[in-house]
Chains A and B, each alone.
Chain A
Amino acid sequence: MSHAAAAHYTSTGLDSRKIAFWTFIGSECLLFGSLIATYLVYEGRSVSGPTTHEILNIPLTSVSTFDLLLSSLMMVLALAAVQRGDRLWARVWLAATALLGAIFLGFQAFEFTHFVHEGLGFTTNLFGSTFFTLTGFHGGHVFVGVVWLLTLLVRSFQGKLGPEKAMNVEIAGLYWHFVDVVWIVIFTVVYLIQTTPLPAS
């Protein structure tokens, strides 16, 4: 075969970057799995300080959850726009995704500072340690995602995000959706399923 063909030959016909990225996502399952497992086995073991039902704000977190879910929709629409070469809507949807991600981070920042004011710090008790580490790791991932999306947005404005670059956006999308999916698990397992007594309605 010619060199050009040899240089791009693959045994599966699939893009190497996509294979590598799915492998990375698999690895992240174990990262977040360990964090979640620790949170769960330590639930209810704090000897002092605020606990889940005293401090978690379900209505507020429901809104931030909705925000993240919506951002996944924006992301998927952004990819579709890039794939069909729609420069305007690619930029709209990418910006929307990044904005919603930033808003999610805003909610997290508010929640964290509010908790500290209410007496739940990083080192206050086991709940503080496990909660802030787990959600902090997740928030850190969201932050990286927002930076990534903004980078793609800038590239788009530079005219360098045509359909031939769709794989870059697809991979950013995989990252973004995975971060959303981790939040789905965290929202359920940390906020909704609490082992300490639940509020009577």
Chain B
Amino acid sequence: MAEHSEPQEHQGSAHPTAATYVAIFAVLLIITIVEVGVFYVPAFHGFLAPILLTLSALKFTLVVMFYMHLKFDHPLFRTIFTLPLLIAAAVIIALLFLYGVFRL
């Protein structure tokens, strides 16, 4: 393996500009408005959970990938974060099943 004597700041090609960050914020804002909107529209109440979970997963991903820079950083960070995240998600889902929140 090649010698690395100084920590490197940014690996990867593009580095987001301030404009990109503001655009991401605008998207986050819009998604939040949609989420609240969906909450208030009775027609959506049947599939409230899937819609809201998808939308918030989208917000989650945007913040993690762009604001936390995971998209542009060394893949090691993605591994370090994703593994515990998956375990946490699996634990939540497993407990929901065990407590009968989903009727099997």
**Which residues on A are within 8 Å of B, measured CB to CB?**
1, 5, 8-15, 18-19, 22-23, 25-27, 29-30, 32-34, 36-37, 40-41, 58, 62, 65-66, 69-70, 72-73, 75-77, 80, 83, 166-167, 170, 173-174, 177-178, 180-181, 184-185, 187-188, 192-193, 198-201
Q: Distance in Å from the Cβ of A88 to the closest Cβ of chain B?
A: 15
**Which residues on B are within 8 Å of A, measured CB to CB?**
1, 3-9, 18, 21-22, 24-25, 28-29, 32, 35-36, 38-42, 45, 48-49, 52-53, 55-56, 59-60, 63-64, 67-69, 74, 76-77, 80-81, 83-85, 87-89, 91-92, 95-96, 98-99, 101
Complex CA gap A75/B21 in Å reads 10
Q: Distance in Å from the Cβ of B4 to the closest Cβ of chain A?
A: 3
Complex CA gap A44/B77 in Å reads 38
Pick from B88, B95, B99 the residue with the most CB of A within 10 Å. B88
**Known contacts A66-B29, A173-B68, A200-B42, then 6 further A-B pairs from the complex at CB < 8 Å, ordered by chain A residue:** A8-B5, A11-B1, A19-B76, A26-B83, A73-B25, A180-B67
For residue A173, which residues in chain B have a CB less than 8 angstroms away from its CB? 67-68
Q: Out of B32, B74, B80, name the residue touching A23 (CB < 8 Å).
A: B80
Complex CA gap A73/B48 in Å reads 28
Q: Out of A5, A18, A40, A188, name the residue touching B96 (CB < 8 Å).
A: A40
For residue A66, which residues in chain B have a CB less than 8 angstroms away from its CB? 29, 32
